[in-house]
């Protein structure tokens, strides 16, 4: 099986969730003997093609327009992306093309038409959900592009039943046309060789409990709710340090509000890679107080690191966490309930340990990338087989 993967979000550092996802799924597919050709945006300035962990990575380097909006740039980037795709496909035909979200939608649809090969779209998130239906003109364009490419795809893959329902409700796509394959994780990426005791002292005194938040500092991710809950927790357990790892629109406002909490709140910026892995391991719990959460990656990472988790009962978090078995779930945007859950985990050591062990076992059984890759390969093969027999699109409704 030969797959052309359009990975505009991919980067070597794997800093962002989609970038990490694309890198990991490509490498896992390659380990399963799938030939994957990934086209990325400026991956290597020196080489147009490299072989990395079994994945053929092709770079494009579009001109950077200085006066355009980033959405316009994203659309224009489809020109060199399509040119590169055609140059590769002319010498080595592919069985299918895979794209992610909307950025490469124009190229993906063009390749489907030119070469009459199946198109699979992986949807990680949708604009209407992320922005809570409060969209600018550019965001409306993104939403329309999402709907358009989903209609033209032979198969849609998303990462949760929550996202499956959102796609079905918003873009009127039958749920049967949307496969659900959750995110995977690589255990080796979340180990660390540092001295954890010394690392912990960078953040808190030995006597303190540590509560961790990691993610975007935005309304949808709920750090402001955790800050409200922190005030209540500190009244009960004053020797507690709250770490807010991340960047975002609320950073300055949160820092100002945290000043009254006498140094118990830390904003170290965005922790990534081994630094984040070590932070999971020193934390007494991870809190994800999100109103909207499509990926659940932070939860998976913490679960793998045996860090007890508290999550909002929403989105993919509701699917990943079984209450009182692999973590605790609370009502979204309810600081009182969140504070009580934090106090419970900080005070009940045996419960915390049981939740952490159960959660890690779940991750190892269900979320390793080689298992996710097998699920993907089965979907890919099914779509290829159907396309060969039908020679027509599986689903192609009228445009919105």
Over residues 336-365, the pLDDT tens digits come to 999 999 999 999 999 999 999 999 999 999
| Alpha carbon distances (Å) from 123 to 45, 70, 127, 216, 239 | 28, 20, 11, 19, 42
CA distance linking residue 329 with residue 310, whole number of Å: 6
The number of angstroms, rounded, from the C-alpha of 236 to the middle of its chain's C-alpha atoms is 34
Q: What are the domain boundaries of the chain? A: 2-184+368-390, 188-366
Sign of the dihedral through C-alpha 33, 124, 321, 255:
positive
In this chain, the answer to whether the domains covering 2-184+368-390 and 188-366 adopt an identical fold is yes
Separation of alpha carbons 57 and 50, rounded Å:
5
pLDDT digits (tens, 9 = 90+) for 55-104: 999 988 876 766 667 777 888 889 999 999 999 999 999 999 999 999 99
User: By percentage, how much of the chain surpasses pLDDT 70?
Assistant: 92
pTM for the whole structure: 0.89
For 24-54, what is each residue's pLDDT tens digit? 999 999 999 999 999 988 655 556 688 889 9
pLDDT in tens, 204-240: 999 999 999 999 999 999 999 999 999 999 999 999 9
CA 116, 120, 121: angle at the middle one, nearest 5?
130
CATH 3.30.420.40 fits 2-184+368-390, yes or no: no
CATH 3.40.50.2000 describes domain 188-366? yes
Q: What is the rounded CA–CA span in Å between residue 251 and residue 256?
A: 9
Burial readout 11-28 (b: 16 or more C-beta within 10 A, e: otherwise) = beebeebbbbbbbbbbbb
């Amino acid at each position: 099986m030969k797959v052309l993967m359009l990975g505009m979000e991919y980067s070597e550092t794997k800093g962002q969730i989609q970038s990490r996802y694309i890198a990991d799924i490509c490498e896992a597919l390659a380990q399963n003997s799938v030939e994957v050709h990934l086209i990325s945006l400026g991956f290597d300035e020196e080489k147009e093609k490299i072989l990395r962990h079994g994945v053929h990575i092709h770079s494009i380097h579009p001109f950077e327009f200085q006066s355009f909006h980033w959405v316009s740039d994203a659309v224009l980037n489809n020109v060199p992306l399509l040119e590169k795709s055609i140059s590769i496909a002319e010498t080595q035909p592919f069985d299918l093309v895979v794209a992610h979200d909307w950025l490469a939608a124009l190229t993906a649809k063009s390749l489907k038409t030119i070469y009459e090969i199946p198109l699979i779209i992986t949807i990680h998130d949708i604009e209407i959900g992320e922005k809570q239906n409060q969209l600018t003109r550019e965001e409306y364009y993104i939403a329309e592009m999402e709907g358009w490419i989903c209609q033209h795809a032979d198969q849609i893959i998303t990462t949760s039943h929550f996202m499956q329902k959102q796609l079905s409700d918003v873009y009127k796509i039958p749920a049967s046309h949307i496969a659900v394959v959750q995110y995977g994780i690589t255990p080796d990426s979340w180990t660390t060789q540092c001295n954890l005791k010394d690392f912990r002292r960078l953040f808190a005194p030995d006597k303190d409990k540590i509560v961790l938040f990691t993610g975007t500092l935005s309304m949808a991710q709920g750090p402001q709710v955790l800050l409200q809950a922190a005030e209540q927790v500190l009244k009960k357990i004053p020797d507690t340090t709250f770490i807010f790892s991340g960047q975002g629109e609320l950073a300055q406002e949160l820092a100002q509000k945290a000043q009254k909490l006498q140094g118990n709140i830390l904003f170290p910026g965005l922790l990534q890679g081994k630094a984040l892995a070590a932070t999971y391991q020193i934390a007494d719990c991870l809190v994800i107080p999100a109103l909207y959460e499509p990926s659940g990656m932070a939860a998976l990472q913490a679960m793998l690191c045996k860090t007890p988790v508290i999550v909002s009962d929403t989105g993919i978090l509701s699917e990943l966490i079984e209450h009182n078995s692999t973590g605790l779930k609370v009502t979204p945007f309810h600081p009182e309930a969140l504070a009580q859950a934090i106090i419970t985990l900080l005070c009940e050591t045996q419960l915390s340990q049981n939740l952490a062990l159960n959660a890690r076992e779940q991750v190892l059984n269900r979320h390793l990338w080689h298992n996710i890759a097998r699920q993907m390969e089965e979907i890919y093969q099914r779509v290829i087989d159907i396309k060969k027999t039908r020679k027509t699109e599986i689903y192609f409704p009228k445009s919105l």
